[in-house]
Structure 1
Amino acid sequence: MHKLGSTALLAAGLALAPLTQALAQDRPDIAVLIPGKHDDNGFMQAAYRGYEKIKAELDVNASYVSNISATSDPALLTEAMRKLAQEGPDLIIAHGGQCNGPAEIVSKEFPDIRFVVIQGHVQGPNLSSYVVRQEDSAWLAGALAGLTTQSDVVGHISGAWPKPGLIGRAAFYDGVKHVNPDARFLTWFTGDLDNTDINAQAAAAEIAAGADVIYTMLNAGRQGVIDEIKSHGGKVRHIGNVSDWTQVDASFVGSAVADASVAILSAARDFTTGDWQPDQITEIGLGQGEVVKLTLAEDVSPEIRQQLDQLAAKLISGEIRINTTYEGSEFNPATGEFVDQSYKEELKAKS
């Protein structure tokens, strides 16, 4: 009897194995491309959270690649995306506006694969973009900086130069100027989202020039700014982005939350339900759940909180329209001088 049972179980196992394989093959293959470090406590980690949400919530075969280029080199990103496409997934989700150009190139080479760029602005016959409107929370972060600065000097530091980063910087500046027209603005792109040393140096230079509130749009490199700000004994405050940094360190007066992991899950879910459409840009912004918002430290006054709530309502209603272009000069931390924006083209060529 025991022998027959074993044979029956063995037979069942042999029968089930091909069926299990067939079911796995029927699931869509979705690959997530993460240009930077997937554990950077910043924008790239949001992509990894999106990948984890796909794995947990959707019946798909999900995979990811990460840590391709700290400087968002277009050639390296294009080659990584091409290599991923050669493996034949049904959908490739590329994270970050730095993937715009690579996606336009590779999607044409692989017309049978669907492509999505998160925080992208590209479209095509098999290509779409999903955008979390980080400019909404960045504008409110600017308003917070303008309302809380004591020196009337506000700083901004970012790493790479993809379009979403430029839009976010412009929105932050617009928010500063809306509430504090006399504030001086110090802005710089260091060229590297992950390097703690160069971003700390940029923060030190902006603080030396009078900045007492600094907004960072960084990944792993943010830690360098945190350490520099904390060395000033509470005289300088920090505003983070992507996730809620007020829960991480007391130096943060606020954080411009824009959870791109939701966009990744939305793109994947749309693909599995048949709702995904090519040649479109799908936006998720302020007032659409908890995806985009400004969080505040406990010591922000009730008066400022009320002002920010009123401003948020005007953004949602359209009464306030965000200027997403910044035409001003940039502050070179190496020299302490202001330079024309064309100067960064030289830095791009060197990075």
Structure 2
Amino acid sequence: MHKFATLCVLLMTGGAAFAQDSDLDIAMLLPGRIDDSGFMEAGYNGLLRIQKEFGAEISYIDGIKPERDLLAGALRELAERKPDMVIAHGGQNSEAAQIVAAEYPDVRFVVVQGHVTGPNLSSYEVLQEESAWLAGAAAGLLTETDVVGHISGIRVPPGLKGRGAFYHGLMHTNPEARFLTIFAGDQDDNALSQRVATTQIGEGADIIFTMLNAGRSGATEAMRGTKTRQIGNVIDWTAVEPGIFVASALADVGIPSVEAVRDLADGQWQAGTVKAIGLENPAAVSLALSSDVPADVRAEIDSLRDQIVADRITVATDYDGPELAP
């Protein structure tokens, strides 16, 4: 069952001046667990920032399976109250958001990490593929076996782009590396991720990039007692378990929803647009490296980052190579 929650906040002195007059009402759909230590929790934290920074009344639904009809039903439930904005957190909401936005033309809709638009629909995204590309480049420099893995759950556009970018970063620094990749079918299943990680370790992978949510700990357990290191995503996992994580492709996916509401409050929000935030904003997108990463690798990653920001490197996101079976 999903959870529907409404949180109200009393306006306090010292808040944004426009919040005192706006009484914004913001609703969010989070198709996952808000305590997953990953993508969904970052989105929920963004909603709490909206509450704090704009004095907004917020509501949310979480725990929805990423199936179009279920997502559309949850979006309708949120839109029925006619809030100022409905935010669908995650690219898996894209199709459902297009359907429901057309049914509620007087409600503003935003998809986080989506690329869909409409007369009352826009998308806001952090370019997590840019930090994923740097993660792949770091993996290529750090691997000792020349076998590098990737594990994700469901095949949504941001995950596919992240996988493709990681692969191209890996090939940029280590074109001879063998790449193992799988979309196992679930972001939150720890038994599944542990089994998949164990398989990749058995294939020789000494670095594995995990784009998972609550299921990340299964992959982590598979690596304990081995020489295999993990590259995380979304938050700085090197600060959580530095012995396991050699890097983390940071992408604060809570920022897009905050920026959407900021644009709304400032009268700058526009339907029919996609707003992207990349490595030029280190608070939003960056690569964290473990303290044991050598200085020469750090310097190379810094140089590659600067080249991406200066448009001297194009971050490709395609991948049509082999995949491991789920």
2:152 to 137, 150, 158: 158
1:211 to 191, 205, 214: 205
Tell me if the contact between 2:153 and 2:183 (Cα under 8 Å) persists in the aligned partners.
yes
1:266 to 211, 234, 259: 259
User: What is the TM-score when the length of structure 2 is the normalising length?
Assistant: 0.92
> Residue 248 of structure 1 corresponds to which residue in structure 2?
240
List alignment gaps of at least 5 residues for structure 2. 1-18
2:325 is the alignment partner of 1:332:
yes
**What is the rounded CA distance, in whole Å, between the counterparts of 1:301 and 1:101 in structure 2?**
44
**What is the rounded CA distance, in whole Å, between the counterparts of 1:54 and 1:212 in structure 2?**
40
Structure 1 segments, 4+ long, off by >3 Å, are 23-26
Pair 215,227 (structure 1): closer, same or farther in 2 beyond 3 Å? same
**What is the rounded CA distance, in whole Å, between the counterparts of 1:29 and 1:49 in structure 2?**
17
> What does the per-residue CA deviation read over 1:252-291, in whole Å, with 9 as the maximum and x for residues that have no partner?
0000000011111111111112110000000000022421
2:186 is the alignment partner of 1:186:
no
2:301 is the alignment partner of 1:320:
no
Structure 2 letter corresponding to 1:280: T
List aligned pairs for 1:1-351, cutoff 5 A.
27-69=23-65, 72-232=66-226, 235-249=227-241, 250-332=243-325
Pair 222,92 (structure 1): closer, same or farther in 2 beyond 3 Å? same
Structure 1 letter corresponding to 2:307: K
- Paired positions, count: 307
Tell me if the contact between 2:24 and 2:54 (Cα under 8 Å) persists in the aligned partners.
no
- How many Å apart are 1:24 and its aligned residue? 9.5
**What is the rounded CA distance, in whole Å, between the counterparts of 1:24 and 1:313 in structure 2?**
40
Pair 25,321 (structure 1): closer, same or farther in 2 beyond 3 Å? closer
- How many Å apart are 1:59 and its aligned residue? 2.3
**What is the rounded CA distance, in whole Å, between the counterparts of 2:313 and 2:32 in structure 1?**
34
- How many Å apart are 1:186 and its aligned residue? 0.3
Tell me if the contact between 2:167 and 2:179 (Cα under 8 Å) persists in the aligned partners.
yes
Structure 2 letter corresponding to 1:190: A
Tell me if the contact between 2:20 and 2:55 (Cα under 8 Å) persists in the aligned partners.
no
- How many Å apart are 1:78 and its aligned residue? 1.1
- How many Å apart are 1:26 and its aligned residue? 5.8
| Aligned-pair identity (%) | 49
The structure with more helix, counted as a fraction of residues? 1
| CA RMSD after TM alignment | 1.3
Tell me if the contact between 1:24 and 1:61 (Cα under 8 Å) persists in the aligned partners.
no
